Amino acid sequence: MAIELTFLGTSQAVPTASRNHTAVLLRYQDEMILIDCGEGTQRQFRKARINPCKLTRILITHWHGDHILGLPGLLQTLVLNNYNKTLQIYGPPGTQRFLETLLKMFIFVGDIKIKIQEVREGIFYANNNFILEAHNLEHTCPCLGYIFKETDKRKINLVAVKKLGLKPGPELGKLQSGQSINHEGRLIKPEEVSFVKQGKKIAFVFDTAICKSCEKTAKDADLLICEATYLNELKDKAAEYKHMTSVQAATLAKKSKVKKLFLTHISQRYEHESEKILKEAKKIFKNSFLAEDLMKVEL
């Protein structure tokens, strides 16, 4: 199944005319997962012509304003548009208290079903099709890096099956689930007639100093979405505020053996020269791309 990503916001703390606050939308099968919800995110849904009422989950990396101030407006809009699901919201410790406080700051019209789960290190959600995993990053407040990973699937080799005279039915089902079978007096092992297709992995690394958890999150990702707030000439400033430079993001991608790198969370100072961010990264990791608002990527 295809995984579709839409960059709804790609700026750092201060938005620009062309970059909204941070938000990335992931669509897969019947899931629509929003990673962070900066101010103005609900309007970005409109611009992208995506119905926010299809949202199933929101993953909050951390509770700095540029990553969450779009939540009240988005939730109110969902209610006004008859959202009828239970919205699953995940975030670092403190998420329950922070969200409840945020929603008490104005008169919220109507009701919405929300389930909040405070996330710590490791896998925090899994079903037959994908897992969600988190790692603790190093920022100025509790902050999580997230992984979306498709479940590996065993696929039947139809040519091998035909040679053995196997027909659709329970025997093939057992082989596909990884079990051996006896067929006409012969033991057939699953690896003889099937192969394992690796699921795709998307990694999200926002707002952090470079650290070991960055590597854990990014390792072998098909696509890494990573902050590149500053050019390398401001690496000291990046370290002071626990952010990353384009060089650090590209080095992370190369070291972690990712296939594609998308750079985001771009400082307002580069509004008219963001290509410098990409140029620096490409010197280290050629398969780098600069994320732009409303850009769509499909895997």
Which CATH number characterizes residue 217's domain? 3.60.15.10
Residue 188, domain extent: 154-195
pLDDT of residue 227: 98
At 154, list the tokens.
């065993």
- Both 30 and 169 in one domain: the answer is no
Q: Where are the alpha helices (DSSP H) in the chain?
A: 41-48, 65-68, 71-80, 95-103, 158-163, 170-176, 190-193, 212-218, 235-240, 246-255, 275-284
Q: 130-136 and 122-126 as β-strands: parallel, antiparallel, unpaired?
A: antiparallel
3-state helix, strand, coil in the chain (%, to 5): 30, 30, 40
- Both 20 and 129 in one domain: the answer is yes
- Both 105 and 214 in one domain: the answer is yes
Q: Which residues are catalytic?
A: 66
pLDDT of residue 280: 98
- Both 159 and 67 in one domain: the answer is no
- Both 292 and 180 in one domain: the answer is no
- Both 175 and 294 in one domain: the answer is no
pLDDT of residue 17: 96
- Both 261 and 159 in one domain: the answer is no
- Both 266 and 280 in one domain: the answer is yes
- Both 139 and 227 in one domain: the answer is yes
- Residue 49: how many other CB atoms lie within 10 Å: 7
Look up residue 35 and give its amino acid.
I
Nearest to 261 by CA among 222, 235, 295, 296: 222
pLDDT of residue 229: 98
Under a CB-based contact definition with an 8 Å cutoff, are residues 223 and 146 in contact?
no
On average, the pLDDT of the chain sits at: 94
Decide: residue 275, CB within 10 A, 0-12 exposed, 13-18 middle, 19+ buried. Answer: exposed
pLDDT of residue 155: 82
First to last CA, the chain: 9
User: How far is it, in rounded angstroms, from Cα 252 to Cα 256?
Assistant: 6
User: How far is it, in rounded angstroms, from Cα 247 to Cα 253?
Assistant: 10
> pLDDT tens across 119-176, in order?
999 999 999 999 999 999 999 999 999 999 999 988 888 787 777 777 777 777 787 7
CA distances from 27 to 119, 128, 298 (A): 21, 16, 9
Of 195, 228, 248, at which residue does a domain stop? 195
Of 195, 221, 250, at which residue does a domain stop? 195
Q: Phi-psi region for residue 5, left (φ > 0), alpha (ψ -120 to 50) or beta?
A: beta
pLDDT of residue 278: 98
Q: Which residues of the chain have pLDDT under 50?
A: none
Cα-trace Rg, the chain: 22
Under a CB-based contact definition with an 8 Å cutoff, are residues 157 and 197 in contact?
no
Under a CB-based contact definition with an 8 Å cutoff, are residues 239 and 247 in contact?
no
Total-model pTM = 0.91
Under a CB-based contact definition with an 8 Å cutoff, are residues 1 and 28 in contact?
yes
pLDDT of residue 146: 98
Of 143, 175, 195, at which residue does a domain stop? 195
- Both 142 and 17 in one domain: the answer is yes
User: How far is it, in rounded angstroms, from Cα 263 to Cα 266?
Assistant: 8
As for how many domains the chain has, the answer is 2
- Both 81 and 209 in one domain: the answer is yes
- Both 190 and 257 in one domain: the answer is no
